[in-house]
Amino acid sequence: MSPPFSASVHVREPDLGHTTTTKPTDDTRSTVIAAFRTVRAETEHRCASLCEEDQTVQSMPDASPAKWHRAHTTWFFEQFLLVPRLVDYRVFDERYAYLFNSYYVTAGARYARPQRGLLTRPNCAAINEYRRHVDAGVEQLIAHAADADLEEILHVLEIGLHHEQQHQELMLADILHAFAQNPLLPAYALDWQSANPQLGGDEFAELPPGIHSIGFADAGFCFDNEQPAHRVFLEPARIGRALVRNAQWLEFMAENGYTTPSLWLSDGWAVVEAGGWQAPGYWRKRDGCWFSMTLGGLQPIDPDAPVTHVSYYEADAFARWAGKHLPSEAEWEIAARTNLLDDAFGAVWQWTRSAYLPYPGYRPAPGALGEYNGKFMINQMVLRGSSHATPRGHARVSYRNFFYPSARWQFSGLRLIDYLN
Ligand SMILES: [Fe+2]
């Protein structure tokens, strides 16, 4: 099995920041085509070591097969860019919209998510062909679109590229979950490097209290949920420079963290009991020692590495046990903007105690793409930063990731905050 992307994930950085312009040039078009090819190639690179069976399996309703990710990201370009914009475009297969539409009600009926693993057909060869067909269409559109149309085309294209990058990380989280169900515990990449151990110490840094602005207010791309930028008020507090490490989590476990109901939210305790949780996701005890299933296979727990694959419920219980709190997303963002955080990006996503809600004045984009973020703003919690599986160039200080509080198959960890009041 060849290493799928240990080099490329940290090297390939598509230039997605300047794809829109009021006066398009040939340079603009070639830059955009290069960015498009880079992102599409990264998806294929991440799947290069996965056989057809690997790409077809769906290990739980929340996860999707790698083959489905590859097809769905392709459908996104076909549905939202080629069908409406490329004259004489021939849809690759009229049936695919039903199979590969995820949740866009506006775009029509769709196949049930929990059954995506039943799609042995179309096979990988057909999806390869689908990707090539759509790639050619997108490149034709970019190369030949009228100047007057290019700005809107590039806007949708840019969303499609960032969308595909999101799925690149999801693919790895999903295949890890699938491999973790396999008694053979296969490695996705034998040389996979999990989240790097932190270099910083355990100290807490004082947050600048008072009024600050959060949200995206720069030039370039952001998702609609990062806007409008707005003011927030921070109470005096000190935030952990470092991520919570496995050594600390082992202390929490040793002090009966998973069996002490008073540490847990009611919903969280119900999940702990129902799931029999005794440790983070993918942890297994062998001969008295803890191991974790990773993309590199089963590996001993590194006490210095950030804890990963914990749910919001676990992060919240840990914070309570530690006598501290999870930061709000505003506190996290201001801390990151003022360089107070070690490992803000590139190790693990960090749970915040903020519910995933619209920012003041938020409005979803018009049309089907307005379904991208806004309709999920209920019952989920925000994570900030990025993980070691996040494609390079995809993270931002204002980026808002979100998952249900019981989810722990993502590369999710935490840091703490302490208040001075
Ligand atoms: Fe999607």
Q: Which amino acid is at 11?
A: V
**Cα-to-centroid distance, 130 and ligand 1 (Å):** 17
CA-nearest of 150, 203, 167, 152 to 74 is 167
Cα 219 to averaged position of ligand 1 atoms, centre (Å): 24
Chain centroid, CA 242 distance in Å = 21
pLDDT of residue 6: 28
Q: Would you say 397 and 336 are in contact if contact means Cβ atoms under 8 Å apart?
A: yes
- The region that residue 343 occupies, defined by phi over 0 for left and psi between -120 and 50 for alpha, beta otherwise, is left
Ligand 1 mean position, distance from CA 73 (Å): 6
Q: Which structure tokens are listed for 334?
A: 């201001």
Residue 366 has a pLDDT of 85
- DSSP state letter for 290: E
In angstroms, what is the span from residue 65 Cα to ligand 1's centroid? 13
Asked if residue 284 lies in contact with residue 298, where contact means CB atoms within 8 angstroms, the answer is yes
Cα first-last separation, the chain: 54
Q: What is the DSSP string of 183-206?
A: TT---S-TT---SPPP-S-S-EEE
- Angle between helix 124-144 and helix 147-180 axes, rounded to 10 deg: 160
What tokens does 314 get? Answer: 């676990």
Burial class of residue 120 (count of CB atoms within 10 Å of its CB; 0-12, 13-18, 19+) = exposed
143-155 confidence digits (pLDDT tens): 999 999 999 999 9
Cα 306 to middle of ligand 1, angstroms: 28
For ligand 1, the distance from its centroid to the CA atom of residue 33, given in whole angstroms, is 21
CA of 323 to the centre of ligand 1 (A): 38
Q: How far is the CA of 414 from the centre of ligand 1 (A)?
A: 25
Q: Residues of the chain whose pLDDT is less than 70?
A: 1-24, 197-200
pLDDT of residue 178: 98
Check: CB of residue 192 under 8 Å from CB of residue 293: no
Residue 160 alpha carbon to ligand 1 centre in Å: 9
DSSP letter, residue 387:
B
Ligand 1 center to 292 CA (angstroms): 28
pLDDT at 23 (0 to 100): 58
Q: How far is the CA of 218 from the centre of ligand 1 (A)?
A: 25
| 413, β-bridge pairs | 350
- Tell me, in angstroms, the distance from the centre of ligand 1 to residue 307's CA: 27
- For ligand 1, the distance from its centroid to the CA atom of residue 88, given in whole angstroms, is 26
pLDDT at 380: 98
Q: Pairing between strand 417-419 and 204-206?
A: unpaired
* Cα 18 to ligand 1 centre (Å): 23
pLDDT of residue 2: 29
Q: Are 106 and 367 a contacting pair, CB within 8 Å?
A: yes
Q: Residue 339's CB: how many other CB atoms inside 10 A?
A: 10
CA of 123 to the centre of ligand 1 (A): 20
Using an 8 Å Cβ cutoff, are 400 and 385 in contact? no
| Residue 47 to residue 44: CA distance in whole angstroms | 5
Residues 6+ apart with CB under 8 A from 286: none
Q: How far is the CA of 416 from the centre of ligand 1 (A)?
A: 31
CA–CA dist 93, 127 (Å, integer): 11
| Residue 302 CB burial class (10 angstroms; 0-12, 13-18, ≥19) | middle
The rounded Å distance from CA 162 to ligand 1 centre is 10
Question: Computed over its alpha carbons, how large is the radius of gyration of the chain?
Answer: 22
Say what the pLDDT of residue 369 is.
Answer: 87
CA of 215 to the centre of ligand 1 (A): 23
